[in-house]
């Protein structure tokens, strides 16, 4: 439970990804005000508190791939959660041209309260 202040910020940003859309690790880092820290986003998602709802499955690599190895338990779970919200996964991968979240800047400023 010892948190780094950055984690909460990342989790909040991930919570803004709309159902049926996805974002990349780097994109989340940028939106969270942490450019260059895509890897930190991945790590933080492994530490989401159980009582918090964070749609971690909507975060993918910059090429649309699920970050976990194909066929692994985790990738199967992520894939299932995505398809459950009508995001098509093919070969461990999602077409970003169709499903990538494109946040409206004004709305972001509002929700993140800078």
Instruction: In angstroms, give the least distance from the CB of 37 to DNA.
Output: 5
Q: How many residues bind DNA (CB under 7 A)?
A: 26
Supply the Cα-derived Rg of the chain in whole angstroms.
14
Provide, for the chain, the percentages of residues in helix, strand and coil under a 3-state DSSP scheme, each rounded to the nearest 5. 45, 5, 45
Q: How many beta carbons lie within 10 A of that of residue 27, not counting itself?
A: 22
DSSP for 37-73 reads: -HHHHHHHHTT--TTS---GGGEE-TTSB-SSPTTSH
Closest CB to DNA among residues 59, 89: 59
Site string for DNA, 77-106 (x = CB under 7 A): -x------------x---------------
Q: Smallest distance from the beta carbon of 104 to DNA, in angstroms?
A: 20
User: Mask 49-68, x = binds DNA (CB under 7 A)?
Assistant: -------xx-x-xx----xx
Per CB under 7 A, the segment of 25-33, 79-87, 97-105, 106-114 that binds DNA is 25-33
In the numeric block, which tokens belong to residue 91?
């070969």
> What is the C-alpha end-to-end distance of the chain, expressed in Å?
26
Q: Report the interface residues with DNA, using CB under 7 A.
A: 4, 6, 24-27, 36-43, 45-46, 48, 56-57, 59, 61-62, 67-68, 78, 91
């Amino acid at each position: 439970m010892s948190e780094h202040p950055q984690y909460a910020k990342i989790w909040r940003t991930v919570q803004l990804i709309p159902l049926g859309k996805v974002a990349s690790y780097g994109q989340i880092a940028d939106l969270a005000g942490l450019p260059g820290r895509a890897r930190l986003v991945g790590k933080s998602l492994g530490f989401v508190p159980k009582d918090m709802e964070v749609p971690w499955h909507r975060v993918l690599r910059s090429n649309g791939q699920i970050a976990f190895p194909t066929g692994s338990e985790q990738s199967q779970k992520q894939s299932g959660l995505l398809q459950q919200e009508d995001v098509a996964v093919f070969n461990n991968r999602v077409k970003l041209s169709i499903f990538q979240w494109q946040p409206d800047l004004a709305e972001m400023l509002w929700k993140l309260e800078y």
